[in-house]
Chain A
């Protein structure tokens, strides 16, 4: 059975493709991700709803790396994308058109997920908290009465 994925349904996950590079963000964790070259191509194929194995095979064909090693690296990338809650499995998606774009110069190397955690520190410094669903417990504190 073909394995398909879609962008995470979490409202705190966003991603944007600029063609040859993709940036994704998980705002809950304060982590940003960058996918370049073959990783961006794999991302585009997965988000287009194409079967994972086909996406990996088509991008591997544009790589100078050994097909088996490339496939293993691509599987690791997909697992990392799931682990980071950037994509999620989805059954029965109607794929949209997708064709991997060859490297601008030479051939692709191995796909990688770059992870930027600078914002984790900022979020720790400036913690953001949601109030409860029903708002504050609304009692007037005695010290404020007047």
Chain B
């Protein structure tokens, strides 16, 4: 388990947060660019010394300002995966991978070279120079290099930021696999909400260096007050579902959740696979009566629980359909339909983005 509490004053802003991350889980540190996420991770790694606070992994104190403990980075045994890979240019791929393992005693090699090469599928790259690798290959090697230093925790600083969208979806499963096969605790820093929804067991929301919220992805995404931080465009509820069944004729998958069944296309997964469905507020429309003759498959009845009014032309409404759902409506519609807290409505969902294929046993 990782436990920390950090306080640090930079010239521009201040870092002030504390949180815990469970063993063998992915905790995501989420925030906009420039909110101090990298500074936090550097402090955990020991590359920056915070003014005060502590960092603990299990029973090992890595930093404690009150006791004057500050373990140097090379003794912390934390694997750090940087945004820009930072492969050593004067070594080939194999040299990079083995750099950290040379400093581990032979009896401590729990994560073996063969296994890492196998999982990351980098066997054909071993004798290549680092200069002509693609971004995805570089990042996989950086992950392998960190793993082979036998870390007890992985710190990932936007590891997918410099990788195009298609490659991203290739690397995301690797990160889940690190947690599941090696039982590693992962701290995943990101400003991309889709990555967080896909990966995180828990999220910590950071704004200007200060922790604004901490908890389940579903819970944080359904909080209207956090929309300025989680991103207005992508704002929307996240539903925890399981694959119920698959209709081959129509390529339709039914996802069961506490509010009923959500039907989506283009997802071919085994029944009972846990899936997170991200339903953007802008894709949800509301009606006062059950719609007749509509092409939209997903209609849920619910009650408005909360109105998020930031004074603009649009409002976000939280609706209880068995799970929280968020809908974005114009102020005009809001007034014309006489919407408000306690009102019963029917929510129609136009599109569903499935952001998490496997929750790995849903912790």
Q: Do A and B come from one complex?
A: no
